[in-house]
Amino acid sequence: MASINDDIILIKNKTFVSNSYLICDKKENTCIVVDPGLDADILLASIKTSGLQPLAILSTHGHFDHMGSAKDIQTEYAIPFYMHEADYKMSQSANFFLKVAGIRHTIKTPQPDVLLNSNSKEINIGSFTIGIWHLPGHSPGSCVFKWNNYVLTGDILYKNGLGPESIPKEDKELLSHSILKLFTLCSDDCVVLPGHGSHDSMGSIKTNNLALKQFLELKNHAAN
User: For 172-193, how does the pLDDT look when each residue is reduced to its tens digit (9 = 90+)?
Assistant: 999 999 999 999 999 999 999 9
Domain ranges of the chain: 2-223
For residues 105 and 168, which has the higher predicted lDDT (pLDDT)?
A: 105
Q: Give residue 4's pLDDT.
A: 72
- Residue 203 CA to residue 219 CA, distance in Å, equals 20
pLDDT band at 9; cut points 50, 70, 90: very high
Q: Is 8 in contact with 149 (CB distance < 8 Å)? A: no
Strand 81-84 to 30-34 pairing: unpaired
Q: What are phi and psi of 186, to 5 degrees?
A: -120, 140
Give me the chain's average pLDDT, please: 94
Q: Give residue 164's pLDDT.
A: 75
What's the mean pLDDT in 102-131?
A: 95
* pLDDT greater than 80 at residue 2: no
**Number of residues written out for the chain:** 224
* pLDDT greater than 80 at residue 117: yes
Cα separations (Å) of 48 from 45, 75, 176?
5, 14, 39
Of 55-69, 100-114, 158-172, 185-199, the poorest mean pLDDT is in 158-172
The DSSP element (H or E) to which 97 belongs, if any, is helix 94-100
* pLDDT greater than 60 at residue 12: yes
Q: Give residue 86's pLDDT.
A: 97
Proportion of the chain above pLDDT 90, given as a percent: 88
Q: Is the CATH number of domain 2-223 3.40.50.12170?
A: no
Q: Where are the beta strands (DSSP E) in 67-121?
A: 81-84, 114-116
pLDDT digits (tens, 9 = 90+) for 129-167: 999 999 999 999 999 999 999 999 999 999 999 987 777
CA dihedral (96, 97, 99, 103) in degrees, to 10, reads: -140
* pLDDT greater than 60 at residue 221: no
Q: Is 199 in contact with 193 (CB distance < 8 Å)? A: yes
For residues 17 and 224, which has the higher predicted lDDT (pLDDT)?
A: 17
**End-to-end CA separation in angstroms for the chain:** 45
- Residue 132 CA to residue 67 CA, distance in Å, equals 17
Biggest distance spanned by C-alpha atoms of the chain: 53
Question: b/e string for 41-68 if b means 16 or more Cβ within 10 A?
Answer: ebbbebbeebebebbbbbbbbbbbbbbb
- Residue 152 CA to residue 154 CA, distance in Å, equals 6
Question: b/e string for 185-198 if b means 16 or more Cβ within 10 A?
Answer: ebeeebbbbbbbee
Q: Is 13 in contact with 19 (CB distance < 8 Å)? A: yes
Strand 191-194 to 150-154 pairing: parallel
